[in-house]
Amino acid sequence: MSTVRFAIAVTSLLCLFGPPGNAQPVQVAVAETTRGPRFLLESGRTTVPVDISRTPALRRRVSLADPGMSFGQVIDAISRQAGITIVFSDDVVPAGTRLRVRLDSITVAAALTELLIDTSLDVVFRRDGSAAIVPRPPAPPPLLLGTLAGTVTARVDGAGIAGAGIAAAIITIARTSLRAQSNEQGRYTIGAIPPGTHQVQVRRLGYTPVDTQVTVRDDETTTLNVQLERSAVQLEQTVVLGYSSQSQRELVSSVTQVNEAQLRDVTKNDVGAMLQGKAAGVFVTGGTGDPNATPEVRIRGTGSITADAGPLTVIDGVIGGRADPADVATVTVLKDAAATALYGSRAANGVIVITTKVGTPGKTRSRLNVASGTTRIANGNFELLNARELYDFLKGIGVTAYGGGTLTETLLQNDTDWLGLAFRPADVRQIDGSVTGGDARATYYLSGNYFGEQGAIAETGFRRYGGRLNADFKVTERLTVTARLAAQVSNDRNDAAGSTSAYVMLPFDVPFNADGTVRRGNEANWLGRDKTNFLFPRQYNTNTAASRTLTGDVKISQQFTPWLTFSSTNRYESADADGRVYNDQRTISGSTLNGTLVNSFSNSRTLLTSNLLHLDRGLGENHRLRGIAGAEYQGTDNKSFNATGASIFPGLGILDVAATANNIGGTTSERAFVSALSQADYGFRDTYFASVSFRRDGSSVFGRDQRYGNFYSIGGAWLVSNAGFVQRFGPVDELKLRASYGTAGNADIGSYQSRGLYSFTTTYSGLAAAVPSRRANPNLTWEVARVKNVGMDLRLFQRFNLTVDAYRRVNDDLLLNVTLPGTSGITSDLRNIGSVENKGIELAFSSTLGRVTGLTWTSDFNIGFNRNRVLALNEGQPIPSGNRRIEVGQPFDTWYLRKWMGVDPANGDPLWEQLTLDADGKVTARTTTNVYNDATLQRVGTSSPKYSGGWQNALRFKDLSLSASLNYVSGNLIYHSGRETFDSDGTYIDYDYMRLPAGSSRWTKPGDQATHPKAVIGGNRNANRPSSRYLEDGSFARLTNVTLAYTLPQALRQRIGTSTARIYATGDNLFTRTDFSGIEPQVGLSGTAGPPFPLPRKFLLGLDLGF
């Protein structure tokens, strides 16, 4: 027997069997040739085929230049070059047999095939690491093989209950080439399994691996459902991109995926709000504690001025829709052109893809989560003067006459806490339940939920009821139908009394009469400037709103071949809303018209159909091609109506009792989009990846000459870690480099903006008349975003992940309102003029920081740096925008104010900067002035942060878990407009004042180095007028949430009849570190902080049960 003494472990062969790239269950099958040898692996008493395409030893290349070698010499040469021990017996092939073979850089598999063709010999890999050339045994009688099927789901909080299905999990029959990849619902099927007991391995990066045994019987389907528990490693997860899903290993684009557990660490009623601090480059701000408010979201900065700059939302692969936070499985943020270009016309500002939960086959399971708690307002660093402090301040600046009387200490008999009367401890409750189950042919997910939060301001609040049914049907082996039905009903109660006026009301004023009734505020002895008491209208006035939405999706998928599928997704959405604002004639707001009532109604209907061909095919051993091609249509019909009635008898708040009709209005509008789209993804040797996409959109909102737009992208990635020189470095598990370029559009403007319009709301000589209101613009077209992105993904030691992206996005042809001359009779015109640039760097790092017995600590950190700059405007002319100005060459959110230069130590006067400019506009001199109107308006900073991000940590010790989330913003300037009133240096002596922040001082005598000017009755030389005096550092770091949870032991759960039971306590907005002197540094995109609706702290206790 002739042998080569160089062995390689069979385990090294098995560990390199990588997952196939198909998102659908694909059994790895190796075709047998009829003439060449079979490549087999010993498995017990039998052998199973080896997957040649995923066996590096067989894919290595060998070369032989001597055509006269013996069979033994050829085998020796192949063995040396391939690093494989190959044995054979002279009884099978005589070693001295001379061969005339020339091998020119071909694979080992190809070389052995050429040597052994038509010999009825096979190559068998043995347990000792060698490979043997053996005679092929006679064909056995037909074997009845078995099938393994089931669902891979996420374990919820480690408690044993099945959550959402996990896509792209790899299920492998150990020591065979039999494997499958779970689909988007987590389902998989493996066929042609030899009967017997097998070891099954389930792997999904980002989850703890599972190994289990299963017995497969001949000609039967065995069910194996597996739950995976999430771990810190996330690089290999499958990312849902809307139209498709893809392994992150193969992605060429910049995306961030946030899972259910990461989202629901805060108690919010909006998915966008839950993203705060969770994804690099995503800036979420609200600036209010109003539970009815919707947060503002920006991805990689603001790129539009007139058109909406928020991201496009996609739910379950379809543009638009709504999803309750309790039903969300994952949220994926698409940031660069390679990811967003397939959405074409509406993706210029990024895309948020929401995937809802689906059913899992097997035993019916139900889940109930109940949480209840309370909220408390958080006033930050802001404090008002009490009665004694305000009296001393007024006395100190020389006030003697006050409120029609004299300023005396008798005013100190009352010290009303107006903030205590305006705000209250409030309740918050959340209930959500779900039932999931099914079998191999049909699954369902049924849920219902309730969220209710009282506002911190009395008589305000929000309630929402929702339900969802997600059903999936496998009609035949190749035909599937999915249905999605979701409904929401919400009710809002808004502040109808102006309760935020509590910030300026005098502590000297008494809110109630001696008999306990509420004072109006206009009594003769009422001292406050506004002569109103918000407690009085709170008794009568109301401001309510309600909305109802219903969304239904039906998707039909027909698989024509294993690699070609057609899908048709169709959605109908109905949304209705109504509002009611009642101002009683007994209140100040209602007294002008003797009581008013405004009723408003609106409805919207949307129909969308998306029809796509999906291709996914391997081409030989080294190539894989995926593709999408199809067409979409979306039509929307909107209608609204409003009416205002006046002279309404107190308490009769219906329009039918209005004595006069004050105002009536109504609108109707339609819009439509039609699209053709395509995308192709190519992979080579599981190492090199490329993606191209093209989409052509048409929109009715644009001019007849420019209705269609083309959008495209190209991207590539190199999985460097698959290269041999990297594999030698043990710490590097994966290293990928990415680059992409492409375009996307923005069409988020009102209907008919390109049309010439007339207004018919006027009369002439008593007859209905029309006047021009808008000029026609047949060339109005899309905003276009051109995006470049380069990135790197790195995983080290199987526990550290690092993602870095650098980008530049230029939004051209901005949809911009251009002011027209007054002689035109029309105020403005919408045109494609202007350009805005956003560029920056994003970094995301996740890790398992430590593991000891029973303890796991995971950490996720992200940070995003963005710089914004306006590149072009109409004729280069700046656009005033309140206290800001949009100007070429400057950040979009630039403050344009008089520059505050402090206080004159000699006399306590305010000082501003005065610039002297030459004919070219260059500064030739800088001086100070105490005359407000002489000071120069100039650029004094920006409200955009230099960077923002978040940090999440989770500790788990056996059945106890503790998590904490922090988000931060740095480098932005906030205009604290409220200080114009309650920090006005004596301008308003009949308003309350704020306490001076720590480190501040007021001028009282010559020589004082003070931050605040001398307080003077009636104000000090306009010191409280808008200037950079009231610009403050808006940086903050907030402890967003802390949650402590305990999962009951299994024995106790069995005793009470639950599969899982988890008790938890959670707190939101627990602590904020900031130097901002106001109540809340998170002020919204306006950058302005007035008297706010404070963001409350929340404290809840919850119980999560599974059955």
Q: How far apart are CA 45 and CA 175, in angstroms?
A: 13
- What's the mean pLDDT in 152-156? 79
Strands 767-774 and 351-356: unpaired
784 touches 709 (CB < 8 A): yes
Domain hosting 43: range is 10-135
In this structure, the answer to whether residues 154 and 45 fall within a common structural domain is: no
Query: Distances in Å between the alpha carbon of 120 and those of 2, 37, 662, 882, 894?
Result: 20, 7, 97, 86, 80
pLDDT (tens digit per residue) in 537-574: 999 999 999 999 999 999 999 999 988 999 999 999 99
Q: Identify the pLDDT of residue 508.
A: 97
Residue 128 to residue 919: CA distance in whole angstroms? 89
Rounded mean pLDDT of 378-385?
92
Q: Tokens representing 989? A: 């002596």
Q: Are 492 and 544 in contact (CB under 8 A)?
A: yes
Residue 252 CA to residue 741 CA, distance in Å, equals: 11
The pLDDT of residue 606 is above 70: yes
Which pLDDT band, with edges at 50, 70 and 90, does 238 fall under? low
Tell me the percentage of the chain whose pLDDT exceeds 70.
Answer: 92
Q: Is the pLDDT of residue 275 over 80?
A: yes
d(CA 89, CA 36): 19
The residue that leads in pLDDT, 469 or 138, is: 469
Select from 85, 107, 135 the last residue of a domain: 135
The dihedral of CA 1008, 1011, 1016, 1019: what is its sign? positive
Extract the tokens encoding 62: 């060998």
Is the pLDDT score of 273 beyond 90? no
Single-letter residue type at 439? D
Residue 331: half-sphere exposure toward Cβ, Cα within 13 Å: 28
Q: Kindly report, residue by residue over 391-436, the tens digit of the pLDDT.
A: 999 999 999 999 888 999 999 999 999 999 999 999 999 999 999 9
Q: Report whether pLDDT(382) > 60.
A: yes
- Helix, strand, or coil (residue 902): strand
Say if residue 165 is in the same domain as residue 126: no
Whether residues 103 and 184 fall in one domain: no
Based on the domain organization, do 114 and 220 belong to the same domain? Answer: no
Q: pLDDT grade, residue 367 (50/70/90)?
A: very high
List pLDDT tens digits, range 592-605: 999 999 999 999 99
Residue 9 pLDDT exceeds 60: no
Q: Dig out the tokens for 291 from the structure.
A: 């539970």
Distance separating alpha carbons of residues 1056 and 1049, to the nearest angstrom: 11
Tell me which DSSP letter residue 852 carries: E
Are 119 and 162 members of one domain?
A: no
Reported confidence tier of residue 69, pLDDT bands at 50, 70, 90: confident
984-988 mean pLDDT: 96
Residue 311: is its pLDDT beyond 70? yes
Contacts of 267 (CB under 8 A, 6+ apart): 371, 373, 428, 430, 1066, 1068, 1098, 1100
Can you tell me whether residue 890 is helix, strand or coil? Answer: coil
Contact residues for 820 (Cβ-Cβ < 8 A; gap 6+):
826, 827, 828, 829
CA angle 638, 639, 640 (to 5 degrees): 135
- Note whether 970 and 947 are within 8 A (CB): yes
Q: Does residue 216 fall inside a structural domain?
A: yes
Q: Does residue 651 lie in a domain region?
A: no
Tell whether 19 and 101 lie within a shared domain.
yes
Which one-letter amino acid corresponds to residue 1029?
Answer: R
Q: How far apart are CA 164 and CA 149, in angstroms?
A: 17
Q: Which of 70-84, 125-139, 430-444 has the highest mean pLDDT?
A: 430-444
Contact 986, 1063 (CB under 8 A): no
Are 51 and 14 in contact, with CB atoms under 8 Å apart? no
In the predicted structure, residue 729 carries a pLDDT above the cut 70: no
What distance in Å separates the CA atoms of residue 904 and residue 1013, rounded to the nearest whole number?
A: 8
Same-domain pairing of 90 and 120: yes
Strand, helix or coil for residue 958: coil
pLDDT at 20 over 60: no
Residue 724: pLDDT band (50, 70, 90) is low
Handedness of CA 136, 139, 143, 148 (dihedral sign): positive
Phi/psi for 456 (5° steps) reads: -65, -25
Question: 853: helix, coil or strand?
Answer: coil
Query: pTM for the whole thing?
Result: 0.78
**Per the domain annotation, does 397 fall within a domain?**
no
In a domain, 60, yes or no: yes
Count up the domains in the chain and report the number: 2
Question: With 80 as the cut, is the pLDDT of residue 233 above it?
Answer: no
Tell whether 57 and 84 lie within a shared domain: yes
Q: Is 28 contained in some domain?
A: yes
Q: What CA dihedral angle connects 137, 138, 142 and 145, to 10 degrees?
A: 0
Q: Which of the pair, 102 or 294, is modelled with greater confidence?
A: 294
Q: Residues 886-890: contacts with CB within 8 Å, 24+ apart? A: 886/305, 887/939, 890/939
Q: What is the pLDDT of residues 324-349, one digit of tens each?
A: 888 998 888 888 888 887 786 678 88
Average pLDDT over residues 627-656: 93
If asked whether residues 156 and 73 sit together in one domain, one would say: no
Residue 67 has pLDDT above 70, yes or no: no
Distance CA 361, CA 186 (A): 10
Q: How confident is the model at residue 532 (pLDDT cuts 50, 70, 90)?
A: very high
Task: Give yes or no for residue 1106 having a pLDDT over 70.
Answer: yes
Separate counts of helices (H) and strands (E) for the chain: 14, 62
Q: What is the pLDDT of residues 1030-1053, one digit of tens each?
A: 999 999 999 999 999 999 998 888
To the nearest 10 degrees (0 to 180), the angle between helices 108-116 and 71-82 is 170
Closest CA to 272 of 239, 307, 313: 313
Output the pLDDT for position 110: 84
DSSP-assigned beta bridge partners for residue 418: none
Q: Which helix (H) or strand (E) holds 955?
A: strand 947-957
Give the alpha-carbon dihedral of 338, 341, 347, 353, to 10 degrees: -60
* Residue 350 pLDDT: 87
**Residue 34 is part of a domain; what is its CATH number?**
3.55.50.30
* 319 falls within a domain: no
291 to each of 690, 816, 967, 1038, how far by Cα in Å? 45, 32, 20, 19
Q: What is the pLDDT of residues 455-503, one digit of tens each?
A: 889 889 999 999 999 999 999 989 999 999 999 999 999 998 888 899 9
Would you say residue 270 lies in a domain? no
Rounded mean pLDDT of the chain?
86
Band of pLDDT at residue 122, cut at 50, 70 and 90: confident
Per-residue pLDDT tens for 915-934? 999 988 899 999 999 999 99
Weakest mean pLDDT among 87-96, 505-514, 968-977: 87-96
pLDDT band at 730 (very low <50, low <70, confident <90, very high): low
**89 and 154: one domain?**
no
When mean pLDDT is compared across 120-124, 651-655, 726-730, 909-913, the lowest value belongs to 726-730
Helix (H) / strand (E) element for 116: namely helix 108-116
pLDDT of residue 851: 54
Nearest to 497 by CA among 422, 427, 424: 422
How many Å apart are CA 231 and CA 158, to the nearest integer?
11
For strands 130-135 and 937-942, give the pairing: unpaired
Query: What is residue 958's predicted lDDT score, i.e. its pLDDT?
Result: 83
| Contact in structure between 416 and 510 (CB atoms under 8 Å) | yes
909 DSSP assignment? -
- Please report the pLDDT score of residue 675 as a whole number: 93
Last residue of a domain, one of 213, 228, 243: 228
- Answer whether residue 618 is part of any domain: no
Confidence at residue 345, expressed as pLDDT on a 0 to 100 scale: 67
Residue 386 pLDDT greater than 90, yes or no: yes
Q: Higher pLDDT residue, 733 or 982?
A: 982
Residue from 889, 916, 913 nearest 901 by CA: 913
Task: Tell me the Cα Rg of the chain.
Answer: 35
| Same domain, yes or no: 121 and 158 | no
Cβ atoms 579, 599 nearer than 8 A: yes
Residue 789's closest CA among 309, 300, 344, 314?
300
Domain boundary among 208, 228, 248: 228
Cα 15 to Cα 177, 203, 688: the distances in Å are 11, 12, 21
DSSP string, 294-361: --EEEESS---SSS--SPEEEETTEEB----GGGEEEEEEE-SHHHHGGGGGG-TT-EEEEEE----S
pLDDT above 70 for 6: no
| Residues 162 and 224 placed together within one structural domain of the fold | yes
Q: What is the CATH number of the domain that holds 162?
A: 2.60.40.1120
